[in-house]
Amino acid sequence: MHFKNDLAFAQELDRQDPLRGYREQFIFPQHDGKPVLYLCGNSLGLQPVTVRQALLDELDQWATYGVEGHFRGERPWMHYHKQLTQQACSVVGALPHEVVVMNTLTVNLHLMMVSFYRPTKQRYKIIMEAGAFPSDQYAMETQVRWHGFDPADAIVEIAPRPGEDTLRTEDILATIEREGAQTALVMFGGVNYYTGQFYDLDAITRAGHAAGAYVGFDLAHAAGNVPLHLHEWGPDFAVWCSYKYMNSSPGGPSGMFVHERHANNPEIPRFAGWWGHDEQQRFLMRKGFKPMHGAEGWQLSNAQILSFAAHRASLDMFEKAGINNLREKSLKLTGYLEFLLDEVNPSGQRFRIITPRNPAERGCQLSLLTDNNGKALFDKLTAQGVIADWREPNVIRVAPVPLYNSFEEMWRFVEMLK
């Protein structure tokens, strides 16, 4: 598409945008009496207007029925998590028995590693991207130690080549091939939080399995951002959170995927709780854990109703908008932002976009690597009502979100930057 750097052009793109109505479904924080320029959906999505009522409904349910709310009313709490499954599946491209919503992301990552990181003397390594999100780094490090191995030896990190910002798929695959015989788990992010790179999850899965390892993904920055086909790609597990691109409230629930090849295998070791036990027999309170079929067999606890209610309200919107439509707008919106950034910074002397230039290798986020004045620039933007985020040592991340950001906002943002 041929873009133009002018306001009328941006406004015309908004007029043609079939998803433009969704913006009104969100509550924008205010700055000087106007909505902020919110470019931070990669960190915490905005509040959908429907969430308040969804929460009030559950408080009413509690007030009306007390403990009987588990069985009565429109959405009994007893099976509440099941109402989220189908919609969560559409977001990540999975079958219903492969997905469950529960806990929070890092908790689920550990639970999955209990099942799928079972190192032996010969096979104990974890292959991951260098510079993964800290929670993932700490999870890997402590899991490795827990099994009595040394992280310095057991964790193989893949870094960009000197002078490059992002990973080459060929380097990822070559590392998996080289270390394969000693590798227990290939664990990758979907979209890297810092660079915004969207990895080739299909290729990584195939390489990991060819090497005889398990493959897991952390999709915190991918879920609700890029199209995912987890069932088809076939990793053993994946985890994600719902409060970034999925706008499901601060600290909102995580989703977890276990591929169906593991659905009927009660022998897989796991840390269990009563909510993962065969639901026909859950209330017989008997000894002997018998996992439910599929991902539900990894549940520990009964549902956190209030945060699940917020998630449900938000997932309804994803279903209506459609993940493919969102991606289509996202490609255009981020493409427009990229075009404008290049216009005001043609030789890259003030900042450099380190996110891949190929739209297929990124989601909506662009990461701007700044010079030494980066923090001052970021603070200036903030003072003018831009909410983006700063990541040490010197990156400004901006994430135009197709559900609530507009083309006009991209133009205004780059005018300010100029």
Ligand X SMILES: *Cc1c(COP(=O)(O)O)cnc(C)c1O
Q: How buried is residue 396: exposed, middle or buried, by Cβ count under 10 Å (0-12/13-18/19+)? A: buried
How many beta carbons lie within 10 A of that of residue 392, not counting itself?
7
Shortest gap between Cβ of 366 and ligand X (angstroms)?
16
Where would I find the H helices in 196-297? 201-210, 230-233
Nearer to ligand X, 149 or 193 (CB): 193
The length of the chain in residues reads 418
Shortest Cβ 243–ligand X spacing (Å)? 7
| Residues paired with residue 217 on neighbouring β-strands, in sequence order | 188, 238
Phi and psi for 33 in degrees, rounded to 5? 75, 5
Restricting to residues 2-21, which ones interact with ligand X according to CB under 6 A? none
Number of residues that bind ligand X (CB under 6 A): 12
Give the nearest distance from C-beta 106 to ligand X in angstroms: 3
Binding segment for ligand X (CB under 6 A), chosen from 26-34, 133-141, 289-297, 373-381, is 133-141
> 257: Cβ–Cβ under 8 A, 6 or more apart, which residues?
92, 94, 98, 99, 230, 235, 237, 238, 239, 295
At residue 26's C-alpha, the angle toward residues 21 and 29, to 5°, is 130
Q: Say whether residue 220 binds ligand X (CB under 6 A).
A: yes
Cα distance between residue 256 and residue 258, in whole Å: 7
Stretch that binds ligand X, among 104-112, 321-329, 337-345, 395-403 (CB under 6 A): 104-112
Burial track 270-279 (b if 16+ CB lie within 10 A, e otherwise): bebeebbbbb
Closest contact distance (angstroms) between CB of 156 and ligand X is 18
Of 175, 213, 170, 217, the C-alpha closest to 192 is: 217
Name which position in 218, 236, 296, 361 contacts ligand X (CB under 6 A).
218
User: Near ligand X by CB under 6 A, which window of 128-136, 265-273, 274-282, 333-341?
Assistant: 128-136
Task: State which of residues 47, 106, 225, 299 lies at the interface with ligand X (CB under 6 A).
Answer: 106
The residue within the footprint of ligand X, chosen from 50, 83, 135, 345 (CB under 6 A), is 135
253 is an interface residue for ligand X by CB under 6 A: no
Closest by CA position to 24, among listed 50, 44, 43: 50
Q: In Å, what is the CA distance from 193 to each residue of 45, 136, 173, 316, 401?
A: 15, 11, 21, 26, 15
Task: Give me the least distance between CB of 132 and ligand X, in Å please.
Answer: 7
The smaller minimum CB distance to ligand X, of residues 193 and 336, is found at 193
Least Cβ distance, residue 339 to ligand X (angstroms): 27
Q: Provide, rounded to whole angstroms, the least separation between the CB of residue 189 and ligand X.
A: 5
Among 104, 183, 242, 355, binds ligand X (CB under 6 A): 104
Q: Which two tokens stand for residue 163?
A: 């002078």
Is residue 238 part of the contact set for ligand X (CB under 6 A)? no
Q: CB of 169 within 8 A of CB of 160?
A: no
CB of 295 to ligand X, least distance (A): 18
133: contact with ligand X by CB under 6 A: yes
Stretch that binds ligand X, among 73-81, 140-148, 198-206, 216-224 (CB under 6 A): 216-224
Mask 179-198, x = binds ligand X (CB under 6 A)? ----------x---x-----
Position among 58, 136, 236, 338 found at the interface with ligand X (CB under 6 A): 136
Q: Quick one: 37 or 239, whose CB is closer to ligand X? A: 239
Helix (H, G, I), strand (E, B) or coil at 5: coil
> Residue 193 or residue 404: which is nearer to ligand X going by CB?
193
Regarding 304 and contact with ligand X (CB under 6 A), the answer is: no
- Of 241, 295, 321, 341, the one binding ligand X by CB under 6 A: 241
**Amino acid symbol at 230:** L
CB atoms within 10 A of CB 257: 30
Other C-beta atoms within 10 Å of 121: how many? Answer: 7
Task: CB nearer to ligand X: give 44 or 263.
Answer: 44
Strand boundaries in 211-310, DSSP class E:
214-218, 237-241, 254-258
Q: Which is nearer to ligand X, 132 or 377 (CB)?
A: 132
Q: Which residues of the chain form contacts with ligand X (CB under 6 A)? A: 104-106, 133, 135-136, 189, 193, 218, 220-221, 241
